[in-house]
Amino acid sequence: MATLPSEPPTSSEAGTGGYDRARAPHLQRQVAEGFGADAGRYDRARPTYPADLLDRIITASPGREVLDVGCGTGICARLFQAAGCRVLGVDPDPRMAELARQGGTETEVAKFEDWEPAGRTFDAVIAAQAWHWVDPAAGAAKAAAVLRPGGRLAAFWNAFDPPKDLREAFAEVFRRVLPDSPSGGFWARPAVDGYRAGCARVADAIRQTGAFGEPEEWLSCWERPYTRDEWLDLVPTTGGFTQRPEPVQQELLGGLGAAVDAAGGTFIMSYATIAATAVRLAA
């Protein structure tokens, strides 16, 4: 898996365009459950989600009971709560779950595939930057089991794209520091392309349940400014970064920071939040 992004595609996809099932993200549990090592940084540095996408999910759901799969520290859950939803979070990492609780989100600790709903049902099942850590077939089936008729499953990711010159500079840093890794190749094309391929696989798993209407792709585009320090605060929260040796981490951060300095110390990141979503059919 590429250090950037921590989401689809897998490392082999980033380098070749093919899908390596043996290295699918949900099987990489050390990475999947490693974000809690610095949960405070994750909560502070990870980007938000666009209001228009959240509004669309809420409007297209029959009610406001929401299950947040892989809720992490509650970044997205808090947004849904602020919009008037009642949110239950599920996350496998107790450190992340505890921070979510401190932020006001009721959270239970479990892998979604193993989580026991105890008869509870929901109007929406969401997964913000997390569905790739869930077994696609088992996750879609569990979502179908806990959604009310007309309820909506929405899995979504933030795909980011810096300005072209900076994207090329970031790619060069990864090629220099990690010459045998596909990470540098991630920057060769808009990130949304890889995420779109991941969403297509999510849609296939949803179809296979036979419990949902035809999946849709929703896209929301927005921007966010970053200073050098803000960007370097975010990078270590991406999947697999902290699995690398400390000297490699520091060399990557030094190179990325120098690239931002050369660009003037700040930049505008273009985000495309892409969702795979479908409606639960009546039984």
List, for residues 93-136, the tens digit of each pLDDT value.
999 999 999 999 999 999 999 999 999 999 999 999 999 999 99
Helix, strand, coil abundance in the chain, percent, nearest 5: 45, 25, 30
List, for residues 203-246, the tens digit of each pLDDT value.
999 999 999 999 999 999 999 999 999 999 999 998 778 888 99
> Residue 280: is its pLDDT beyond 80?
yes
List, for residues 8-57, the tens digit of each pLDDT value.
443 333 332 333 444 566 656 666 677 878 999 999 999 999 999 999 99
Count CB-CB contacts under 10 A for residue 60. Answer: 16
**What would the two tokens of residue 161 be?**
């794209």
Count CB-CB contacts under 10 A for residue 44. Answer: 14
List, for residues 59-88, the tens digit of each pLDDT value.
999 999 999 999 999 999 999 999 999 999
β-bridge partners, 125? 67, 153
Cα(46)–Cα(232) distance, integer angstroms: 11
β-bridge partners, 155? 127, 276
Count CB-CB contacts under 10 A for residue 30. Answer: 8
Topology of the domain comprising 11-160+189-223+273-279: Rossmann fold (3.40.50)
Q: Residue 46: what pLDDT? A: 96
The domain ranges of the chain are 11-160+189-223+273-279
Helices (H), ranges, the chain: 11-16, 29-32, 39-45, 51-59, 75-82, 94-102, 136-146, 164-177, 183-186, 191-209, 228-234, 246-262
Cα(28)–Cα(92) distance, integer angstroms: 13
- The answer to whether 232 and 253 are in contact (CB under 8 A) is yes
Q: For the whole model, what pTM was predicted?
A: 0.90
List, for residues 170-210, the tens digit of each pLDDT value.
999 999 999 988 777 778 777 888 899 999 999 999 999 99
Cα(74)–Cα(132) distance, integer angstroms: 17
